[in-house]
Amino acid sequence: MTNFNTNTICVQGGYEPKNGESRVVPIVQSTTFKYESSQQMGDLFDLKEAGYFYTRLANPTNDAVARKICQLEGGVAAILTSSGQAANLFAIINIAGAGDHVISCSTIYGGTYNLIANTLKNFGIESTFVEPDISVEELESKFQPNTKLVFGETLSNPSLNVLDIEKFANAAHKHGVPLIVDNTFPTPIFCKPFEWGADIVTHSTTKYMNGSANSVGGVVVDSGNFDWTKYSEKYPGLTTPDETYHGVVYTESFGKGAYITKMTTNLMRDLGSIPSPQNSFYLGIGLETLHLRMERHFANALAIARHLEKHPKVSWVSFSGLENDSQYELAQKYLPNGSCGVISFGVEGGREAAVKFMDSLKLASIVTHVADARTCVLHPASTTHRQMNDEELAAAGVSPDLVRLSVGIEDVNDLIADIDQALEK
């Protein structure tokens, strides 16, 4: 399936039924799996044999959907998690622990910012946040001997900055650490970060991948390109015996699958955060139309952004598809065929006017969500980013008047009419 084009993988990737098996990925809603002998079960525990024994560690429905996303991103291994937050947490703490340091782009989702700046700090992991347009020299000066990874979002939520993936990947590799990229907003339909040097990709599958806002989920995909053994002293968890798992050395036993295998055997074992097979089934169904939906999301958003740009009641519009947008040039490089359906803009009159506008919308609903089939709006400064002070808000590219409009796949003329009547009010 990996030789097929992205659109075909969306529909058929990850699952190839054998003769007489169900055509659709079955929902294996079972916590456990039966074996004839204790020996067989023991071999599974020792990782001598591959097979299912407990859904927290592996489940056929979850695996089929993870495989599809892995193929879409062009990776070697992937694991589903119960949320996007869990995906980013796992991606980081799989290779960083107390006493370590991470570098992150400052323009990231508020929840991920909080995770890195505060929760991981409480775990003993220090962080340095850098502006997306930081110079190469300055970026390189931020690395410390204990830096274990660099983190960024392809298209940041909600400020919509395009990550210069090559710049961040080159700096990371020069200092012997991987680049982790959260690719939630463009999805692999519009950007495949591995092609630009990223080593690990994460997603909140809650968003476009699921597409219908019916289940929270996440995924971590490994490109298999980062050579952990070259920097063995930095990543002992992958390159030396894991005494909590029969002394296995992940890089020796699993090669390019080392990172995801360790995530399964250590983090899923100890922290849980596996999605229910039912939720993974919904995700799999959503992925079958991802290519069609992303095209429509982008086309609708571009038409609305062009409309807003000319509207007298709108003070500014941020959408990388607009020719005069500050991100246009980077978008032409990394997102030449489209970006996503999310637009940020400011309503004349600031915070109060923004709230009035949102309350007057009829089709677009106010929800704490983005990136599904239905158009929705959010005021980040008073919701998703409310834990940030003004300085942190500014660094994350969130102004008090910023309205985040997540354009769905409805008829664009109906959406524009709704926006116009709300702006009038």
Q: Which two tokens stand for residue 258?
A: 């080392």
| Structural contact between residues 218 and 86, judged by C-beta atoms closer than 8 angstroms | yes
Q: Is 104 in the site for ligand PLP (CB under 6 A)?
A: no
Q: Is 182 in the site for ligand PLP (CB under 6 A)?
A: yes
Q: Which of 55, 94, 161, 184 binds ligand PLP (CB under 6 A)?
A: 184
Q: Is 83 in the site for ligand PLP (CB under 6 A)?
A: yes
Q: Is 206 in the site for ligand PLP (CB under 6 A)?
A: yes
Q: Which of 15, 109, 196, 259 binds ligand PLP (CB under 6 A)?
A: 109
Q: Is 335 in the site for ligand PLP (CB under 6 A)?
A: no
Q: Is 275 in the site for ligand PLP (CB under 6 A)?
A: no
| Structural contact between residues 223 and 93, judged by C-beta atoms closer than 8 angstroms | no
Residue 316's alpha-carbon distances to 127, 173, 301, 322, 405, in angstroms, are 32, 37, 15, 12, 13
| Structural contact between residues 157 and 105, judged by C-beta atoms closer than 8 angstroms | no
Total number of residues shown for the chain: 425
Which among 107-115, 223-231, 264-272, 331-339 is the span making contact with ligand PLP, rule CB under 6 A?
107-115
Q: Is 216 in the site for ligand PLP (CB under 6 A)?
A: yes
| Structural contact between residues 164 and 193, judged by C-beta atoms closer than 8 angstroms | no
Q: Is 153 in the site for ligand PLP (CB under 6 A)?
A: yes
Q: Is 222 in the site for ligand PLP (CB under 6 A)?
A: no
Instruction: Please say which residue, 96 or 423, places its beta carbon nearer to ligand PLP.
Output: 96
> Smallest distance from the beta carbon of 161 to ligand PLP, in angstroms?
12
Give CA–CA dist 179/172, Å, rounded. 6
Q: Is 132 in the site for ligand PLP (CB under 6 A)?
A: no
Which among 42-50, 82-90, 138-146, 285-293 is the span making contact with ligand PLP, rule CB under 6 A?
82-90
Give CA–CA dist 327/333, Å, rounded. 10
Q: Which two tokens stand for residue 411?
A: 């008829």
- Distant-in-sequence, close-in-space partners of 310: CB < 8 Å, separation ≥ 6: none
Which among 44-52, 108-116, 130-138, 331-339 is the span making contact with ligand PLP, rule CB under 6 A?
108-116
Q: Return the bridge partners of 127, or none.
A: 102
Instruction: Please say which residue, 57 or 367, places its beta carbon nearer to ligand PLP.
Output: 367
| Structural contact between residues 149 and 142, judged by C-beta atoms closer than 8 angstroms | no
**Shortest Cβ contact with ligand PLP: which residue?**
84
Which among 83-91, 235-243, 296-304, 401-409 is the span making contact with ligand PLP, rule CB under 6 A?
83-91
Q: Which of 13, 14, 75, 84 binds ligand PLP (CB under 6 A)?
A: 84
> Smallest distance from the beta carbon of 86 to ligand PLP, in angstroms?
7
Instruction: Supply the DSSP symbol for 163.
Output: P
Residues 295 to 324 in contact with ligand PLP, rule: CB under 6 A: none
Instruction: Please say which residue, 254 or 345, places its beta carbon nearer to ligand PLP.
Output: 345
Q: Which residue has the tokens 């659109």?
A: 7
Q: Which two tokens stand for residue 250?
A: 């992940």
- The count of residues interacting with ligand PLP (CB under 6 A) is 15
Residue 238's alpha-carbon distances to 98, 127, 235, in angstroms, are 16, 22, 6
Q: Which two tokens stand for residue 182?
A: 């959260």
> Smallest distance from the beta carbon of 293 to ligand PLP, in angstroms?
17
Give CA–CA dist 365/369, Å, rounded. 10
* Interface contacts to ligand PLP, rule CB under 6 A: 83-85, 88, 109, 111-112, 153, 157, 182, 184, 204, 206, 216, 218
